[in-house]
Amino acid sequence: MKKIGFIITILAFLTCSSAVVAQEEISTPDTENSEKVTLLTGGVDFDWVNMKQVKRDEMIEHYRSEIFDNNEISKFNKKEFRSEYKIFLKDANRMTHYRLAYNDVKETKDANLSSFFKTFKDQQILYMYAIQYKNNLNHAFYYDVLGRLQYVDYMSENYPNFPYYSVQYRSNGTIAGTIYFVSKDIQYTYNSDGVFKYLWYKSKMYDRKGKEIMTRTNW
């Protein structure tokens, strides 16, 4: 359950960090053949695509409030952030983690791992990897291939049980984005100011108006 939760968090944050998970394919929708999507949450059945806009807006506001009104989101300046995460600014085991990430290893005795690749001239180039230490499950640390910290994800105390929320910080302490995880299937994403960005439902991303934006295969 804990490992699955980590993978879901990484996938949902893809567009926040402009990252692409290894072997994941992102595609734009075929609008003519877009299927009707039924979302299930809290025992209430609802259709995001065909729902009235006022209802979609109510849901968006509800989960925004769950993150920003009902919780105190930590904000850092660069100095505070680097002090808070001082021991994680450089990956002390970079060579080991690089080798594991390059080979797309997902788990070790001490940590869960995720690898990020870019395609260059038909080759998969590793450019970032993420580590979630098993003794610190509420955080995930993203590093470039030189072992320099790029992002930190903080998962709320309820993690890995649903619902929970997550905040992603850049290495300078600014917030890259936030996500409310209703369930394994449903995630609402917002920017640092609480402005709605998109909804993930399983493999599909939708905007505020119910338009399908893209799909992911590694869900």
What pLDDT was estimated at residue 45?
56
CA distance 181 to 5: 10
201, part of any domain:
yes
Q: What is the domain count for the chain?
A: 1
The predicted pLDDT at position 145 comes to 96
pTM of the model: 0.78
Residue 29 lies in a domain: no
Residues 6 or more apart from 181 whose CB is under 8 A from it?
Answer: 8, 9, 12, 162, 163, 164, 165, 166, 187
pLDDT of residue 31: 45
- Ranges of residues in the chain whose predicted pLDDT is under 50: 1, 4, 15-28, 31-44, 46
Burial status of residue 28 (CB atoms within 10 A of its CB: 0-12, 13-18, 19 or more): exposed
Give the per-residue pLDDT at 202. 79
Residue 9 domain flag: yes
Within a domain: 30: no
Six-digit token string for 123: 């080759």
Residue 172 in any domain: the answer is: yes
Residue 32 in domain: no
Residue in 149, 136, 153 with CA at minimum distance from that of residue 91: 149
At 187, give phi and psi (nearest 5°): -135, 130
List the domain range (segments joined by +) for residue 147: 2-21+47-216
185 assigned to some structural domain: yes
Residue 100 resides in a domain: yes
Q: What pLDDT, on the 0 to 100 scale, is given for residue 48? A: 86
C-alpha 165/C-alpha 81 separation (Å) is 20
